[in-house]
Amino acid sequence: MLETVAAIGIMATAVAIGAQAAQMTAQQRRSEHERAVALQEAANAMERLSAAQWDEITQTHLAEMRLSDEAAALLPESSLAATVVDGRDGELATKRLAVTVAWRAGGAQRKIALTHWRFQNKEQP
Amino acid sequence: MMRHRGGYSLIEMLAVVGASSLILAAIAGLLTLLLRVEAAARKDAEAIADAQRLAEQFRLDCRTAEGIDIAEDDGSTEYWELTLSGGQMVSYFVGPEEVTRAVEDESEFESYCFPGGISASIELPDENSQRVVRLRLAWDYSAQGGAHRTHWAIEAAMPAGASERIAHEANK
């Protein structure tokens, strides 16, 4: 009787540990996928900003930027925020662009931020 | 006087063998499950890594592209052709489980693998998207035990001078 109880106890422990490990792996995988999608979204936003005309890059224009439908569906409670700070580097006007994608994962708030500088080119828009 | 013989009864032996078999079966089942989960995780991680590499390479190519064209080979399979600065041609072919990038004059090939199957399409810039090309990828992803289709949109900005050429190629 004692041996049977001990065997069942060991088996239950092994099953619990295995199930927990599998759950952690799945969560880790989901988290990695979400992070990769968030990074692509931030990079896409930055590409759009790098292609935009110099005069179009204003805080008003940036406030209209949104996540794609695919990313919004995948990332829970997600949002995209973009900011621009005007500056100067000697003779050149500069814009410091920052894009942040935030989402909730595993009860914690996660975010990815990219920063990019644009320098005014008089010849090209 | 009866002699006392040490040892185990048949019932005890059967109980021990039965319990051991159950434990071994449970451990084997768990190991199989963990190996399956690990293999799926590795496959997914490789697909994500390849999608990120593809995104990075596609953006680099677009950044120096003078033109982009959607073409078809003899088998009516669609591929994309980018003319880089200096006249170098780079083509992207979509296969059932991979996207291949080929550089014309250097005979250089690079493959991005998606073992679950890949579908890809490209959207050329229009008036609204300015100079941004959009590459859409969709592949099977085994998140949380079940198979899902994941969709990625990769956007890449082309240089200002490319606009006219893109419009011309798109209208061909």
Cα distance between residue B60 and residue B117, in whole Å: 25
Chain B residues lying within 8 Å of A42, measured CB to CB:
none
Of the residues A33, A46, A56, A114, the best mutation for testing chain B's interface (the one with the most B CB atoms within 10 Å of its CB) is A33
Q: Per-residue confidence at B74, pLDDT binned at 50, 70, 90? A: low
pLDDT, tens digit only, all 125 positions of chain A: 677 778 778 878 877 887 888 788 778 888 888 999 999 999 999 999 988 888 888 999 899 999 988 889 889 999 999 999 999 888 888 999 999 999 998 788 999 999 999 888 766 55
Name the residue among B26, B52, B131 with its Cβ closest to that of A11. B26
Residue A76 touches partner B, C-beta closer than 8 Å: no
Cα distance between residue A7 and residue B19, in whole Å: 6
Which pLDDT does position B90 carry in this prediction?
A: 92
- Closest-CA distance of chain A to residue B169, Å: 19
**In this predicted complex, what is the ipTM?**
0.78
- Closest-CA distance of chain B to residue A108, Å: 19
Chain A residues lying within 8 Å of B158, measured CB to CB:
51
Name the residue among B48, B51, B144 with its Cβ closest to that of A26. B144
Least confident of B56-65, B80-89, B90-99, B101-110: B101-110
Name the residue among B23, B26, B48 with its Cβ closest to that of A33. B48
Residue A66 touches partner B, C-beta closer than 8 Å: no
Which pLDDT does position A122 carry in this prediction?
A: 65
**Average pLDDT of the segment spanning B145-171:** 70
Strand residues in A13-119 grouped as ranges (E): 79-89, 92-105, 108-119
CA nearest neighbour of B156 among B87, B90, B110 = B90
**Average pLDDT of the segment spanning B47-73:** 89
Tell which wins on pLDDT, B165 or B68: B68
Tell which wins on pLDDT, B53 or A18: B53
Chain B residues lying within 8 Å of A97, measured CB to CB:
none
Q: Which of A20-24, A36-40, B30-34, B139-143 has the highest mean pLDDT?
A: A36-40
Check CB contact under 8 Å for B48 and A74. no
Chain B residues lying within 8 Å of A33, measured CB to CB:
44, 48, 141, 143, 150
Chain A residues lying within 8 Å of B64, measured CB to CB:
none
Q: Over pLDDT 70: what percentage of chain B?
A: 81
Which pLDDT does position B18 carry in this prediction?
A: 86
Check CB contact under 8 Å for A33 and B44. yes
Structure tokens at B22: 């159950």
**Average pLDDT of the segment spanning B119-133:** 79
Chain A residues lying within 8 Å of B34, measured CB to CB:
18, 21-22, 25
Which pLDDT does position B75 carry in this prediction?
A: 64
Name the residue among A11, A25, A40 with its Cβ closest to that of B41. A25
Check CB contact under 8 Å for B26 and A47. no
Name the residue among A11, A29, A52 with its Cβ closest to that of B22. A11
Least confident of A30-34, A36-40, B74-78, B144-148: B144-148
Question: To 10 degrees, the CA torsion angle through A68, B64, B104, B51?
Answer: -30
Check whether B159 has a pLDDT greater than 50: yes
Burial category of A49 from C-beta neighbours within 10 Å (exposed 0-12, middle 13-18, buried 19 and up): buried
**Average pLDDT of the segment spanning B70-77:** 71
CA nearest neighbour of B30 among A30, A27, A25 = A25
Handedness of CA B135, B138, B141, B143 (dihedral sign): positive
Check CB contact under 8 Å for B37 and A26. yes
Which pLDDT does position B171 carry in this prediction?
A: 46
Q: Over pLDDT 90: what percentage of chain B?
A: 15
**0.90 surpassed by pTM:** no
